[in-house]
Each structure stands twice: as structure tokens, then as C-alpha cells.
Structure 1
Amino acid sequence: MATFVHLTPAACAAGIRRSGIKARGERRGVYLFPVLASYALTHQWLRELARRPGSRGVVAVQVRLPDGEPVAVGRYGRSFDELTAAEAVRRIRELGDGALGWEVFLPRTIARGEVRQVRAVRQVAGWRYFPGAHGVTPCVCAGCVQPGAYGSRRLRERRPHPLDGPAPASRVLLARLERAEARADTAALRDTLQWYGLRRRGPVERLAPLAGHPDARVRQGLARAVARWSTPGADELLRELAGDAVTDVRQTVAEAVAYRRTEASAALLTALGRDPSPAVRDAAVEGLVACGTPAAEAVLALLADDPDATVRTTVALLTEE
């Protein structure tokens, strides 16, 4: 029998003692780590899990699985290998300290009889953010630093991000746009469009000519910026970009309008779901699921049998009950 540990909020302890560990998440399963001789390595995920929002306190649930139980093992953010439970324990044990960031995924619920022990653990072991993060200059972008997280205010005060704060006034952005166009400065154009993306409204007519810009990255930046706007004409500009000859631009449009709540954007997603490129169809799936219209459901039914395996997998994951 192979022995693993599962770390979970202390509030879940009573339910686990009563009925086991339920499979959760998009993949429907439970994440584990082998019980090794090293306490710190076995409980390496403690600090990372403890910093997430929710109830305070973490408990370790010790479980035993048959040696031949099918599991997946790998480092988070990378592809996993399908192995048996015993092989997974052996592989991670052989890695030694190189097992930081590794995990085992069991694609099923853990029954009550497989739970051997539920115990409290001290949140002093492990890493935060990623293995080896200590001493690395932290990223302070909005995607990495969560407002209200421990130390986030001091971190932003010490290392302000260039995109912090409100976007510049419209007249300032228009002046930057004119200077960038006069110098044919593509980088400055993209930076200005990024600032426009932080606004809720903008000058659609002034930016519309950029839909014909020779650099596809500028057209992608235009799609990301306009998708956030409620300005009249934004949907028409997005429709024009959705017909771009470059696949990356159409894919960006599909990603950008995924949660835009207008009738025109719903129709646009329906059209992008039938795009010749598998990458565009795959990018449109999330928006189609969020739409929920009869037309979107019809396209999703077609994409469920798409010739491309990636598209079929995305549909299966996002429409799973």
C-alpha cells in the first residue's frame, strides 16, 4: 500500500472523517503527495496553500492507496505522467530535493475507509509562490499581487508597477497615439492601447483605422482594448477584427469578447466558433459556454465532435457538470 498526504482547510476535517475526500475541480480528483522521510518535503505545499483566501488553518489527511492504483504525477504547470501509486512514490522519492513543486493527482474520490489519519500541522514548512522564490524579485503586476493579500500594500509602495493607478486622461492618450503614429512607433502604439484597455469607454472612431495596421500585434492590442468598452461602435470594430486574415488576431478577438455581454458579441462568438482555424475555435469555447444562448449551445454541440482533439478536450472540460 502507498501512503500519501492531502492538505486541506481545517474546516473540512470533520466532513473528511465522516465521508472521505470528494473529487473536486475541473479534472474531478484529489491532489496528494507521498509521505517521505523528510517532513518538510512531504508538507512542502503548506505555506502556498495557507496564503490562499478562505478559512484559516490547514490539516494533513493521511491516506493509503493500493500500489496498483492509477494516478498522474508531475510538477505543477507541466504535463503529468500516468503511473501507478507505487511508481509515483518511487519516482518522487528518487528526486530528493528536486521534488519541490511536484504533486500526485488521483482522478477519483477517496473513500472514508482509505483515510488513515487527520492531523493538525504547523504552517512553517514549504515554499510560497513557487519553489525557490525566496530571494527572487517579485512581480507586482495586477495578476500576481492580489489586493488585500499579506504584504501586498507594502510591496506595491516599495516597487510600484508602471500600470498601477487609473489610466491617463483621454486627451493625454490621444496625444501619445498621435506621436506614436507620427514616428511609426509600434511599441508606443501597443503601450497606448494597453492604457486604453483600462478604460470603460474610448474614441472608437479615432482608433478604428488601427484595424488596418500592418503589425498584427497592434491589431491584437486594439481588440483587447475595445472589448472592454461600452462605447457605440465597439462591436462593429470587433467584428471587423474578427475577419482579420491573421489567425492570432482572430484568436485574440475570441478571447477578448468571451465575457462581453452584448447581442453582437454573442453573434460574433458564434461565428468564431465556426472559424477554419482550430486555435480560434478553441479560444471561442469559453465565451460560448458563458453565453448560454441557443445559438451558442448549437455551436458547442458541433465543437464537441470537432476534428481537432484540443477543441474537443476544451469543450469537455468547460461543459462538464
Structure 2
Amino acid sequence: MAMFVHLTAAANTPRIRRAGIRADSRGQGGVRGVYCFPVLPSYTLTHQWLRELARFGPKGALSAVHVRLDDAQEVLVGHYRDRAKDAQQWLTAAEAVARVAAQPDPRGWEVVVPRAIGTREVHRIRAVPQVAGWRYLPGAHGTRPCTCFGCRIRGEYGGRRLRERHPHPLDGPPPPVPVLLARIEAAGDPGDPAALRDALHWFGLRRRGPVDRLARLAAHPDPTVRRELVWAVQGWSTPGVAELLDALAEDPHPDVREAVADVRTL
């Protein structure tokens, strides 16, 4: 029997004791199943995913669920970066344990069991320290985290301080609203398109903004400015955004109308 560990929210443990682990995760190629990792001699490697899961996974403490699988059970195994078609492999549970254990650096490897795990397969459930494992990516310790829009997590502890200390040249943090409004005014009337697009890019990284002060740009003669205005305000919770997008949805240029349609499907 092959032993694996599945990390989950501590709040889920009563349900797991009662009914097992649901197959509600998606692996490579859309395979539905349960993520787990082989139990290795190294405690740190066995629980390597703990800190990374804590960053964007369930809130609260995580628990380790040890499960025993039949050696012949087929599982999908590979590195998390192997997202190309057929990059990960179907192996038996016993082969998966051997494959991962043989790696010079097994950090980042994962196993997907393509079915639910029953209560009889649950060996034990225990609390684990919440500090084991890597964050961001294996080997990231000592490397400055990336603060670009694609890498950062909104609401992450210490995220704002990190972005202020190491601002990204394109993804902020954005300048204050008065500074951006001054840039728009300095661009002239109707305004230099490049300067306006730059200011609107920074406005788009904010959660709220002065819709009434930007509404005049909906009549700017350059359609690229009007399209950038759509993307700048689409995520704001400020009153008046819906009305501005309604007006831009009737824009004479197809690129602007397409931008409105795109943001309304997000």
C-alpha cells in the first residue's frame, strides 16, 4: 500500500472522517480528483505544499490527511509546471512514489488521484505546523518576490508594504489620484493620447476613482484613449461606472465597443 498526504483546511476534517475526501480539484487536462503527495523520509519535503496552499487556499489552519492507496491505483504524476498536453504521466501509486522519491529535487511535484478517497483509505488526520514548505515557487527563499499584477495576490498579508518597497515599473502601486489627475490636465485638451493612456493605465489599478473627472475622455478623438478608459474604470465600485460603460458601448469605433463587451463578461 502506498502512503500519500493530502493537505486541507482543518475545518474539513470532521467531514473527511465521516465521508472521505471529495474529488473536487482539477489536474492537468481537466482531470478531476484529489491532490496529494507521497510520504517521503523528509518531513519538510512531504509537507512542502503547506505554505504555498496557505497563501491562496482555504482560510485558517491546514491539516494533513494521510491516505493509503492500493499500489495498483492509477494516478497522474508530474511537476506543477508541466502544463503541456501529456507532460504529466499516468503511473501506478507505487510507481508514483518511486518516481518522486528518485528526483534530485522533488519540490513542486504533485500527484492527482482521479477519484474520491473513501473513509477506509484515510489512515490518520493530524495537525501540522503552518511554516513548512516553500512560497511562490521552489527555491524562492532569498529571492525578491515579483510585484507584477500577475504574480501578486490581492489582500495578501504584507502585500501593500512589499509593493511600496519594491514597486513594479508597470504594475504599481499606482500614483495618488491627485497626481494622476494633474497628468491628465497637463496632457492638454483634447490631450496627448500617449500621456492619457499612461494615466488611465494607473487608474485601472485602483479600486475606485473619480468617474466624473474622467468622463470627458469618452469623447476623446483617439479611440485608443476611449478603449483604455473602458479598462481603467471597469473594476471600480464608484457610482457612475455603469452609465459610462453604457455610453461607451455605443461608441462609433468597433475596438471600443468590443472592449466594453469584453469587460462585461469578466
TM category, shorter: 0.7 to 0.9
**Structure 1: where are the runs of 5+ without partners?**
259-286, 288-321
SS in 1 for 2:142: coil
Residue number in structure 1 paired with 2:99: 91
Contact 1:50 1:58 in 2 (8 A): yes
Task: Give me the TM-score of the superposition, normalised by structure 1.
Answer: 0.62
Select which of 167, 177, 193 maps to 1:167.
177
1:46 aligns with 50
Q: CA contact under 8 A between 1:167 and 1:195: conserved in structure 2?
A: no
Q: Distance in 2 between matches of 1:227 and 1:153?
A: 22
Gap change, CA 1:206 and 1:118, over 3 Å in 2: closer
> Does the aligned pair in 1 maintain the 2:79–2:88 contact within 8 Å?
no
Asked if the contact 2:5/2:39 (under 8 Å) is kept, the reply is yes
1:74-89 mapped onto 2 (5 Å cutoff): 74-76=78-80, 78-79=82-83, 81-86=88-93, 87-89=95-97
CA distance in 2, matches of 1:88, 1:178: 64
Summarize the Cα distance change of 1:55–1:148 in structure 2 as closer, same or farther, 3 Å threshold.
closer
Map of 2:21 onto structure 1: 21
**TM-fit CA distance, 1:224:** 0.8
Bigger RCO of structures 1 and 2 (CA < 8 A, at least 6 apart): 2
Number of residue pairs matched? 246
Name the aligned partner's letter for residue 167 of structure 1.
V
TM-superposition CA deviations, 1:262-286 (whole Å, max 9, x none): xxxxxxxxxxxxxxxxxxxxxxxxx
Determine if contact 2:77/2:91 at 8 Å carries over to the other structure: no
Q: Distance in 1 between matches of 2:252 and 2:117?
A: 48
**Where in structure 2 are there 5+ consecutive unaligned residues?**
none
**Greater helix share, structure number:** 1
Is the CA contact 1:7–1:60 (under 8 Å) kept in the aligned structure 2? yes
For the 8 Å contact 1:208–1:237, the answer to whether it is kept is: no
1:115 is displaced (CA, Å) by 1.0
Give the match for residue 248 of structure 2: 237
For 1:56 and 1:171, locate their aligned partners in 2 and report how far apart those are by CA, in whole Å: 41
SS in 2 for 1:204: helix
Measure the CA separation in 2 of the matches of 1:153 and 1:195.
16
When normalised by structure 2's length, the TM-score is 0.73
Structure with the higher strand share, 1 or 2: 2
The aligned counterpart of 1:209 is: 220
Q: Does 1:125 align with 2:149?
A: no
Percent identity over paired residues: 44
Distance 1:157 1:212 in 2: 33
Aligned to 1:59: 63
Distance 1:57 1:155 in 2: 24
Q: Which amino acid aligns with 1:138?
A: P
1:5–1:62 contact (8 Å) kept in structure 2: yes
Q: Which stretch of structure 1 is more off in the superposition, 28-37 or 189-198?
A: 189-198
Q: Is the 8 A contact 2:65 2:122 kept in 1?
A: yes
